[in-house]
Structure 1
Amino acid sequence: MYKGITPSNITLSASAGFFDGETYTFKLKKEGYFDNTYVLESTVDGWYFGNILFGGLIGLLVVDPATGAMFSLPEEVHVELSESITASDSLDVISIETLTEQQRNKLVRI
């Protein structure tokens, strides 16, 4: 488990074992924002099928599955958080008579 602040660089393994890709779950939290959960799953690397031409059965069935080279993860992941609206966000309604002359000059008629 990793706990830190963003942005962050984390080295992750794409393989969870022999013929098994890894899955990671990121939980992002920040005050004033909605929590977000992002699931990152490894996929079979396209070059793995190159073993059919270049590596033979040993590369296809033994070497790449054993070393984890048959799976890949994206180099970069970007996850955004949405700003939450809290009870402290409010709208104040006031009378024009309470404004100073300077504030009245900034008003725009609609």
Structure 2
Amino acid sequence: MALTQSIDDFATQSLKQSSKPSPVQHNNVIPFPSARALLQVTLPHPLHDLAGTQLRALLHSPLGVYVVGTHASREAVCVQLDIASEDLDFTLHTLISTVPAALIGPLKRRANVAKAR
């Protein structure tokens, strides 16, 4: 069903008024990137278990996107997670539920890699 409306209902404007640009609004707020942190996690493994079993579970979990480095030794696998500070709660809960034997190390602030140009 089409709505009917007469032309007289519209307010007439001159062409000069309609061609004026709207005032430009300046936004002076510059968003800063959130603080990032590096979380060291150690995945111990028994002698009879393969070192990659817990690492595989961690990489296939939602935390896999945060992994930036790994280092394997005879007794453990050290994993470094690069997380945003607001993701710390999610990261710890997911880590504990995914790999309960993981040893959570220190949380260090990550230095900004990209400098302002």
TM over 0.5: no
Say which one has the larger Rg: 2
Q: Which TM class, normalised by the smaller chain length?
A: under 0.3
Relative to the length of structure 2, the TM-score reads 0.20
- Higher RCO (CA < 8 A, seq sep 6+): 2
